[in-house]
Amino acid sequence: MHPFCCVSSMTINNSDMPPPPSDPLTKIQNSAPISRASSMRRDSTSDQNTNNNGQIQNSNQNYHSSRELKINDIVGNGVSGIIYKWVNYGKGWRPRWFVLQDGVLSYYKIHGPDRVVLNQETEKGSRVIGEESMRRITRQHADRQHKNANGATPSTKSRKAVGEVHLKVSSIRESRSDDKRFSIFTGTKRLHLRAESRDDRTAWMEALQAVKDMFPRLSNSELMAPVDSVVVSTERLRERLLEEGVSEAAIRESEQIMRNEFASLQNQLMVLKQKHWLLLDTLRQLETEKVDLENTVVDESQRQSKEVGASSTSRLDKSSESTSESEEENERVDPAEEDSDEEDNNFFDTKDFLSSSSFRSNGSDFRASSFSSDGDELYVFDAEDSTDPAIRSAGTNFPHVKRRKKLPEPVEKEKGVSLWSMIKDNIGKDLTKVCLPVYFNEPLSSLQKCFEDLEYSYLIDRAYEWGKKGNNLMRFLNVAAFAVSGYASTDGRNCKPFNPLLGETYEADYPDKGLRFFSEKVSHHPMIVACHCEGTGWKFYGDSNLKSKFWGRSIQLDPVGTLTIEFDDGEIFQWSKVTTSIYNLILGKLYCDHYGTMRVQANHEYSCKLKFKEQSIMDRNPHQVQGVVQDKSGKTVATLFGKWDESMHYVNGDYSSKGKGHEPLSEAHLLWKRSKPPKFATRYNLTRFAITLNELIPGLKEKLPPTDSRLRPDQRCLENGEYEMANAEKMRLEQRQRQARKMQESGWKPRWFAKDDSSDTYRYIGGYWEAREQCNWESCPDIFGQIPSDQILD
């Protein structure tokens, strides 16, 4: 180890402190740690030379002396000062007191109860970088002298470092885009740092690099240089054996045995040394590859940022782009490889099945989509031509309502922000508790997302008609297809919906679909959304508590709650949603996947188990769904298959038991097919149906309560492309949302839903549509307005 690492920090008693100078800044700057450290090193070198009896060459002495003087000039007995460290998006850049000493960079808090004690005594002998650092030392030193003069007991609080970085195993990099910023990568994490000025960064970089250079690297030629054989003297052994009267032949044999043993030991030491060389070479190669990979990631991020910037002149060109990367400081370490386990259940290839020639020959059995040639229709209804006309017309014989087909043109140019840079410090935390900027939201709330599950509500209308005709199996198949269809709108939807405020509501009166939908946020912790929908001959209701976790490379969303369809004839269907994960947060294109088992239960004769296959890395046919419908005896009466983002089909009987080679294609029937994408694409990848959810049609605003999601200002500003205003409003509403927990603990109750103690779920208690008819919203507070000053929490 270099002698500098052995120099301990100086400790001076209060009694030894000189009187305060007239100019404390000058006094600190003019302190001479270099001469002290240099003298200590010269003494150490002198002693070492004496002990080694002059075996060290003069050239080596001159080299080490010049190198020590260079390091002393830069580092001295340590370096300290204020550097701003990036904490997370919520806290941003926070000042920390950094100390570089003995090859370790430590940092401390300078605010709060755990703040570090700074004065001329604690920093004696150190080189202080930055004017603000000098002022802070002077200020704290003056405060301490004032307290001592008043008889206060001096503080003995120890310096507790928040973190440490060992420069021997770390790499340092300057920012190319900001002359004040730099980063340190330790192999497991990256510290993003910002100096007060460009000169301060230069001083820190010189000091850090000088200390890192204290750990020299030998070249391969130096490592593999031949080592002279060890000379072993046997003179003393020979003299001792002669004294004992041993014969000359025995002495020569003993000497040879001794030489052989030492030669064997030397060979073993050489093998160990070669292994050590190989290990060092491997470590250096890994570090080189790591740096090269970091540079590749940075270059790729910058390239993607340029491409996004070039294409952002038109908002429509950004519809398929994932969130762009921010500047170089959002460099990322090696992404973890995607883990995937093979499914225990065998899935036949849906793609091959649906694209086979025999299936295409039966294409006349499937009616073409009801979209016109220009794609202006909002809904699509698919059914076989042989289907009963009453069934085919279910969900279609409703009045036409003209709705918008695109979002407003953005007022401002959107900024690119890295999702990973926002969430890297929140791994393992609940997604609903993480404050993200508005750029990661889509202009819809979670209440409106609930209504998206009813995009294909015509399947429930058909199920109702099938039940009226006594065909309970077809009713069940249509309900099962409806349960799968709710996931179709999530394809490519990587933005986060707005988290509703406590008491926020959303209504959807869609006479063109023959239904009325209403939802309300009924709990803040845990976050629970309840909904209720009334259609023709059926009701749909449920509540959902979404639990989410960050796992570094992905976000996992686990729905908690049950969805229910209740028909007028008394038959009830219930199911729970499967797990959803969003992948490639660190590197690559974001995508979502749904996986797990969905069980659809009914109170009559059938039940269904649907398996959502988890997508693997090499899976060229993702999003597969397969299931079976069984009667009470456990017999499989129908097999379901398809993709949650495309379509669902069924065949009668147990298809899975017939093997993969069996293809009863003529028996396959279409249940549901996904609607075509909108003519005017959005960067949020909203469906035709989703584009209409936040629309304020003429005359609607006057009828809405002040709690409706359409009136939420940050969401409306985001839809209009007013991003700065949207972000400001979001921050304001999140401040108001912090009152929600106190409200809930004080006995707040939802206005339109009540908890059913028997089922532990929230049920609609009625009265909303009646209040809407009378425009009687006196019981609904203005949750989106300003917070009264007497209600602001500390």
Neighbouring residues of 363: CB distance < 8 A, sequence distance ≥ 6: none
Angle at 498 between CA 497 and CA 503, to 5 degrees: 130
Cα–Cα distance list, 125 to 79, 80, 577 (Å):
9, 10, 64
Q: How many C-beta neighbours within 10 Å does residue 345 have?
A: 10
Q: What is the pairing mode between strands 591-602 and 607-612?
A: antiparallel
What is Dmax (Cα atoms) for the chain?
127
Reading the block at residue 190, the tokens are 């990256």
Residue 343, pLDDT > 70, answer no
pLDDT at 418: 60
pLDDT at 766: 93
Choice among 458-462, 552-556, 727-731, 750-754 with the minimum mean pLDDT: 552-556
CA-to-CA distance for 245 and 233, rounded, in angstroms? 20
Report pLDDT digits (tens) over 508-523: 999 999 999 999 999 9
pLDDT at 341: 34
| Whether the Cβ atoms of residue 331 and residue 183 lie closer than 8 Å to each other | yes
CA-to-CA distance for 576 and 564, rounded, in angstroms? 9
Reading the block at residue 631, the tokens are 């009667």
Instruction: Mark residue 365 as left, alpha or beta (left: phi above 0; alpha: psi -120 to 50; beta: remaining).
Output: alpha
Report pLDDT digits (tens) over 688-732: 999 999 999 888 999 999 999 999 999 999 999 998 899 889 888
Choice among 246-260, 336-350, 750-764 with the minimum mean pLDDT: 336-350
CA-to-CA distance for 2 and 210, rounded, in angstroms? 12
Q: What is the mean pLDDT of residues 112-135?
A: 80
CA-to-CA distance for 751 and 749, rounded, in angstroms? 6
Beta bridge partners of 754: 763
Q: How many residues does the chain have?
A: 794
Reading the block at residue 417, the tokens are 């922000």
Higher-confidence residue of 302 and 201: namely 201
Task: From 609, 604, 599, select the one nearest 638 (Cα to Cα).
Answer: 609
Q: Which three-class secondary structure state does DSSP give residue 636?
A: strand
CA 269 to chain centre: 49
Cα–Cα distance list, 217 to 56, 214, 223, 274 (Å):
20, 9, 10, 16
Task: From 408, 407, 401, select the one nearest 377 (Cα to Cα).
Answer: 401
Q: Which three-class secondary structure state does DSSP give residue 368?
A: coil
Report pLDDT digits (tens) over 353-399: 444 433 433 333 333 333 333 445 555 555 565 567 777 777 778 88
Report pLDDT digits (tens) over 53-86: 444 344 444 444 444 444 455 555 688 899 999 8
Task: Quote the mean pLDDT of the chain.
Answer: 75
Choice among 202-211, 282-291, 720-729 with the minimum mean pLDDT: 282-291
User: What is 525-590 written as a DSSP string?
Assistant: TTTEEEEEEE-SSEEEEEEEEEEEEE-SSEEEEEEES-EEEEETTS-EEEE---EEEEE-SSSS--
- Cα end-to-end span (Å), the chain: 52
Q: Which residue in this structure is represented by tokens 């994408």?
A: 677
Q: What is the dihedral of CA 559, 562, 567, 569, to 10 degrees?
A: 160
pLDDT at 599: 95
Looking at residue 377, its amino acid is: E
Name the pTM for this structure: 0.56
Task: From 78, 66, 3, select the one nearest 33 (Cα to Cα).
Answer: 78
CA 88 to chain centre: 12
CA 138 to chain centre: 42
Looking at residue 360, its amino acid is: R
CA-to-CA distance for 492 and 677, rounded, in angstroms? 11
| Whether the Cβ atoms of residue 645 and residue 488 lie closer than 8 Å to each other | yes
pLDDT at 73: 54
Cα–Cα distance list, 88 to 99, 331, 336, 652, 679 (Å):
22, 15, 21, 55, 39
3-state secondary structure 273-321: HHHHHHHHHHHHHHHHHHHHHHHHHHHHHHHHHHHHHHHCCCHHHHCCC
Q: Which three-class secondary structure state does DSSP give residue 344?
A: coil
Instruction: Kindly tell me the burial class for residue 167, based on how many C-beta atoms sit within 10 Å of its own C-beta (0-12, 13-18, 19 or more).
Output: buried
pLDDT at 577: 94
Looking at residue 662, its amino acid is: H
Q: Using 50, 70 and 90 to split pLDDT, how confident is the model at 793? A: very low
CA-to-CA distance for 700 and 214, rounded, in angstroms? 72
